[in-house]
Structure 1
Amino acid sequence: MTSELAKNLQNLDAFWSAMSHSPELKSEQKKKRKSKQKLKIHNNWPNKAWQADFGLDYSEKVHPLPVGKSRVTILKPTEHRSEQVKMSLQAMVLPLEKAQFNRSSQVEVLTQPDDLPSWAQACSNAFGYIIVPEALLPLLKNPNATLFSYKVDGAIAGTAIAFQSNDVMGVHQVGVDPNFRGQGIAKTLMHHLVDFAKRQDTRLMTLQASKAGLPLYQQMGFSLLAEVYHLEPSQEI
């Protein structure tokens, strides 16, 4: 694993850990071996189950995947696993030293809990799944997290979250409401986030990109690091 990939995953682990999740769990075999790699599970959105290094030893018995949760790993499952790939994202990185992009006056920082429902609804519309405002509340209280919104005539049209871990600024939940797509909002958000990250004296920007987001990120200079798999239980016939 390269240092840049390690920093990408460390940021993702720190971001998800900042939200509500259950006590860390580990399999009986791992308990006997006193392994430090434990399984973390979100209580609600983003509904993930993961290990800090996003690895998983497929030769060992692990906890069954909880209903409604996705197990996230950088290790591709075999055909004989009880889990299948629900989706995969591309871990990416952008060195910030030479990146030059401008901020936008239409991008605002969310600071008040009363604004969380409208932000969560806009983000839900963008991604096509329900995001509960309560899951975002810990981020408002976390000094490493910043929630951004792109507004059009007072309405939230785009969303993004920046989460800092050491010299890395991770970007999460960059989405645009379907009613506002095709206006360059995602590009404006990302340019604003780069400017924000540089002002925080971070050295790298990391993210996990969907297929739809790849062209924008590659155009901005992001490099591919690895595939990140989101797994769900296999459907038995």
Structure 2
Amino acid sequence: MTTEQQQNLYNLHQLWRMQPYQEFTTNPGAKIYKLEQWPRRIWCEPGSYSEAEKEQLVAELSAKASDSHILSMPEMLLPKAGTGLLLLPSELTPSFSQQMMVKTLSASALSDPAPRLTLEPIEHNHAQQWANTTGACFGYEVESSSVQNLLLGGACLYFIKYQGQVAGTAMTFIQEQQMGIHQVGVLDSYRGKGLARDAMLLLEQYALDAGINTLQLQASAMGEPLYQSLGYCSLGAIHNFIKIDAI
């Protein structure tokens, strides 16, 4: 695993660990983390493992997951057969994948026109509205308590405002001079206007203003073309699985 991959995952995992979690140690000696509220992930700390250790690690993750958890694993930590096919427990089924992406900023790169929107920082009394909005953008339920935990943990959460109305959400989280960008989403009625791109340009400017020039994110299949057009480079996939109990 490269340093850039480790930095990308470190930012994401530190963000997740703002929520209450359980911690376990596996036979290969890795730590497993399990969240019981949004984003309801179960994952392991990155490391160097043999193929046999990877297989054991995924089996232990699956055993500790419930059907309400998403098991998230970087592609390089998944066990593979000699044919290259993944070796996964039968109760795990693929759900979706994301691309770890990184960009190094320079002031001269920000040559796009000024965005047509604003990013409004939220406070604790906006937690439920932000939870409802980001949930509507991405199609899942978010607990307001999870939003409160993010604010207490030092994440910066924003409403994307367009013509005075809430059009979407965004979030940043800074760790070790790396800014992670998360939850950039636009409500259905505002899509097709380039608002996500404008929001990203503002977030990049925020990073430069804070003296940070490295941005990390994990792109969905829908968002990846936008990030590629803005100069983000792929670091590899994170594959996400759900558990289906055997009948």
Give TM-score scaled by structure 1 length.
0.88
More helix by share: 2
SS of structure 2 residue aligned to 1:23:
strand
SS of structure 1 residue aligned to 2:38:
coil
Alpha carbons of structure 1 residues 219 and 228: separation in structure 2 relative to 1, 3 Å: same
Q: Does 1:46 align with 2:39?
A: yes
SS of structure 1 residue aligned to 2:23:
coil
User: How far apart, CA to CA, are the structure 1 residues paired with 2:118 and 2:45?
Assistant: 32
The match for 1:58 is 55
The match for 1:96 is 105
User: How far apart, CA to CA, are the structure 2 residues paired with 1:129 and 1:49?
Assistant: 17
Return the match for 1:81 from 82, 89, 101: 89
Return the match for 1:118 from 105, 110, 129: 129
Q: Does 1:12 align with 2:12?
A: yes
User: How far apart, CA to CA, are the structure 2 residues paired with 1:127 and 1:51?
Assistant: 24
User: How far apart, CA to CA, are the structure 1 residues paired with 2:232 and 2:162?
Assistant: 28
Residue 151 of structure 1 and its aligned partner are, at CA, apart by: 1.5
Higher mean alpha-carbon deviation, 161-170 vs 81-90, is at 81-90
The match for 2:211 is 201
The code of the aligned residue for 2:54 comes to D
User: How far apart, CA to CA, are the structure 2 residues paired with 1:94 and 1:190?
Assistant: 12
The match for 2:83 is none
Give TM-score scaled by structure 2 length.
0.84
User: How far apart, CA to CA, are the structure 1 residues paired with 2:226 and 2:21?
Assistant: 35
User: How far apart, CA to CA, are the structure 2 residues paired with 1:67 and 1:235?
Assistant: 7
SS of structure 1 residue aligned to 2:10:
helix
Alpha carbons of structure 1 residues 97 and 3: separation in structure 2 relative to 1, 3 Å: farther
The match for 1:26 is 25
User: How far apart, CA to CA, are the structure 2 residues paired with 1:139 and 1:193?
Assistant: 18
SS of structure 1 residue aligned to 2:54:
coil
Task: In structure 1, list runs of 5 or more residues that go unmatched.
Answer: none
The match for 2:221 is 211
- Tell me how many residue pairs correspond in the alignment: 229
Residue 41 of structure 1 and its aligned partner are, at CA, apart by: 1.0
Would the aligned equivalents of 2:120 and 2:159 in 1 still touch at CA under 8 Å? yes
Residue 193 of structure 1 and its aligned partner are, at CA, apart by: 0.7
SS of structure 2 residue aligned to 1:50:
strand
User: How far apart, CA to CA, are the structure 2 residues paired with 1:190 and 1:132?
Assistant: 25
Would the aligned equivalents of 1:162 and 1:170 in 2 still touch at CA under 8 Å? yes
User: How far apart, CA to CA, are the structure 2 residues paired with 1:80 and 1:178?
Assistant: 36
What's the RMSD between the two structures over aligned residues?
2.2
The match for 1:181 is 191
Would the aligned equivalents of 1:119 and 1:156 in 2 still touch at CA under 8 Å? no
SS of structure 2 residue aligned to 1:58:
helix
User: How far apart, CA to CA, are the structure 2 residues paired with 1:70 and 1:119?
Assistant: 22
Would the aligned equivalents of 1:174 and 1:186 in 2 still touch at CA under 8 Å? yes
Aligned pairs (5 A) from 1:144-183: 145-183=155-193
Alpha carbons of structure 1 residues 210 and 187: separation in structure 2 relative to 1, 3 Å: same
Would the aligned equivalents of 1:90 and 1:208 in 2 still touch at CA under 8 Å? yes
SS of structure 2 residue aligned to 1:5:
helix
